[in-house]
């Protein structure tokens, strides 16, 4: 008994050709936070330039950057509060 399997041709529909301009935005905000921590001057124009899209601000870029900034501020606030408690003790 000969069993033959049919293997699909994955190369016929080139899906990646349609999506050649994919950008992952998960580290935009972290990049700016790290620049600030390292002492590099981060200008508001640079942050806005990264947020801009064709017709205005890209919401996913803006959300990523704001989440990173808010997260860092929150961490610093918690650290300050814990240091204040230790000093008061």
Is residue 32 one of the residues assigned to a domain?
yes
pLDDT of the residue at 82:
93
Dist. CA 49–CA 47, nearest whole Å? 5
Is residue 9 one of the residues assigned to a domain?
no
Domain hosting residue 38, numbered range: 21-88
pLDDT of the residue at 20:
46
Is residue 52 one of the residues assigned to a domain?
yes
Is residue 2 one of the residues assigned to a domain?
no
Is residue 37 one of the residues assigned to a domain?
yes
Residue pLDDT tens, the chain, 89 long: 666 666 665 555 555 445 444 445 568 888 899 999 999 999 999 999 888 887 888 888 889 999 999 999 999 999 999 999 999 98
pLDDT of the residue at 28:
83
In the chain, the number of structural domains is 1
**Residue 42 burial by Cβ neighbours in a 10 Å radius (0-12, 13-18, 19+):** middle
Helix axes 44-51, 59-88, angle to 10 degrees: 140
pTM for the whole thing?
0.60
Is residue 36 one of the residues assigned to a domain?
yes
pLDDT of the residue at 13:
54
Backbone angles phi, psi at 57, to 5 degrees: -75, 130
């Amino acid at each position: 008994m000969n069993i033959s399997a049919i293997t699909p041709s994955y190369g016929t529909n080139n899906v990646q050709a349609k999506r050649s301009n994919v950008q992952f935005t998960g580290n935009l905000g972290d990049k700016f936070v790290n620049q600030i921590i390292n002492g590099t001057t981060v200008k508001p124009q640079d942050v806005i330039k990264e947020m801009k899209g064709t017709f205005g601000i890209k919401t996913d870029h803006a959300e990523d950057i704001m989440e990173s900034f808010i997260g860092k501020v929150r961490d610093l606030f918690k650290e300050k509060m814990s240091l204040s408690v230790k000093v008061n003790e």
